[in-house]
A and B are shown apart, each in its own frame.
Chain A
Amino acid sequence: MSVSEMFAALQGALGQDQDIREEIRKVVQALEQTAREILTLLQGVHQGPGFQHTSRLSRGDQCGLPGGCWEEEGAAGRFQATQVFTSWAAELALRSPFPKKCQKAREHFGTVRTQMESLKTKFPADQYYRFHEHWRFVLQRLVFLAAFVVYLESETLVTREAVAEILGIEADRERGFHLDIEDYLSGILTLASELARLAVNSVTAGDYSRPLRISAFINELDSGFRLLNLKNDSLRKRYDGLKYDVKKIEEVVYDLSIRGLNKEATVGGGGEK
């Protein structure tokens, strides 16, 4: 085999490689678009009016009342209703104040699943890590979004298996296109900074109890991450940012407790002052 023949063969292999990468890039672009849409949708939770509006509507929905009845009633009626439904409200606030948004987001995750399916067909199944870099970023973003939705719905940390299921992929490497553990953890760290932001904005919107729950959640997350022996890589860099999120939330909780607002939140159980 002459030198030029050898190089021609190598060039062929590299060219094929490039084609695969091109195909992957196309799908990843579509995934990024969907991820952006989901993010835009979920960003609504930070807006003060949207925050309360949805939470009130959701209570109406979940209590089996027509959503409109809240709007028809005057301020006094609403106050009375709040009194009546205090126990429900407390319970539901714990469960989910944003079901509409979460539901919509979950519909978008259907698109993600079909896009993931097409991504899986673009390269040989046993060469996941060869092309990992191409979808690493978007996968971390999607983990964050899935974790955020699950947090808003149930205030728990989504498990790796659950994320894999939401995204339509596998949790283990053995079974095909999977969710790498480092990508999962990175996504979770993004969730932490998002929750720090949510804590601040929920105070602005008048929901004083949420920061306390976020604080408990983040603290547990922090102690979870403390268990890990991270290498000096990008994940470690992101983890180093977690302490600032913890600090931010602790400051919010401090501000609330020094003004006695946290007691009110635990007693009143809702957003209304």
Chain B
Amino acid sequence: MSGKEGSGGFRKRKHDNFPHGQRREEKENVNPPSALMTSFKSFQLELDTRHDKYERLVKLSRDITVESKRTIFLLHRFTSAPNGEEILSESEVKLDAVRRKIKQVAQELIGEDMYQFHRAISPGLQEYVEAVSFQYFIKTRSLISVEEINKQLIFTAEDREETTNMTSNAHDKQPHTWSLKVTPVDYLLGVADLTGELMRLCISSVGNGDIDTPFELSQFLRQIYDGFTFIGNTGPYEVSKKLYTLKQSLAKVENACYTLKVRGSEIPKHMLADVFSTKTELIDQEEGLP
């Protein structure tokens, strides 16, 4: 009985619902779209296009970040591996792949204001700066300049064939070069991250019994630190935030040099590795804390 009632009620409700929906549809069809609605339809289109582009850029930026990180890990193997040249050339291949992604970013930004989408791509660019400057340091023991980085980010039309399928709108506009400029702030933040990598490089090179690298690194880091203090709070907030971490990295490297100097004369060379391998662990733990 009750079940029957229930099903009846259900059918009734369903029946009730149906014409209601139909009525609503009719109403929409009858009303001609007002001026307000048509303009909002165009807003919808404009916002959707913008959001889609933003999402594509975020995805590219993530890919760039991941690939750059991998390159950095690869470069960390440089000191310990006997065949350093191989690793360098492999890192070059990886960075080329990253640059192809950046080219896609540059193509997305054709005719756009770069700063409108800057937040989407900024993390990727910073990571790229970090990777490229790290590689440059290992090769030349000096700091890569913004101009140098930007020079590598000018893409010409000749290698367009391989990416044509991704550049649907590049065909209509036909620019012969695309370029992306790393902003000074992105560069600074990337360099600040680089110092963290250099600190790791220092500690691990000590572990490998390399006694010269730490001193070289501490000097280099000091130069960068001086540079950052020279900028001080002229730069944006993020830069001054990095200054604190930078100071920590510098302190660790300087302490490592200190220990080397003090104890290096006492401990026989073949035992240095043991001394610093325990030291490394300690520092790594410290690093994990903040």
Contact = CB atoms under 8 A, between A and B. Distances in A.
Interface string A164-179: 0000000001000000
B115 A129 contact: yes
Which of A6, A11, A15, A126 has the most C-beta atoms of chain B within 10 angstroms of its own C-beta? A6
- Report the 3 A-B pairs with minimum CB-CB distance, sorted nearest first: A7-B227, A224-B40, A129-B115
Interface residues of A, number: 36
B36 A228 contact: no
Contacts of B226: 3-4, 7
Interface residues of B, number: 36
A230 interface: yes
B109 to A, nearest CB: 11
Interface of B: 34, 36-37, 39-41, 43-44, 46-48, 50-51, 113-116, 118, 142-143, 145-146, 184-185, 187-188, 220, 223-224, 226-228, 230-231, 234-235
A207 to B, nearest CB: 24
6 contacts: A128-B116, A129-B118, A130-B115, A173-B113, A221-B36, A229-B51
A225 B44 CA distance: 9
A157 B38 CA distance: 12
Contacts, number: 91
A129 B40 contact: no
Given A3-B224, A14-B234, A228-B47, A220 B36 contact: yes
Interface string A209-236: 0000000000011011101111100000
| Interface residues of B, dominant DSSP | helix
A160 interface: yes
B47 A224 contact: no
B37 A128 contact: no
B227 A3 contact: yes
Interface of A: 1-4, 6-8, 10-11, 13-15, 18, 126-130, 132, 157, 159-160, 173, 181-182, 185, 220-221, 223-225, 227-231
Contact of B39 (A4, A13, A159, A223): A159
B158 to A, nearest CB: 27
B143 A227 contact: no
B183 to A, nearest CB: 9
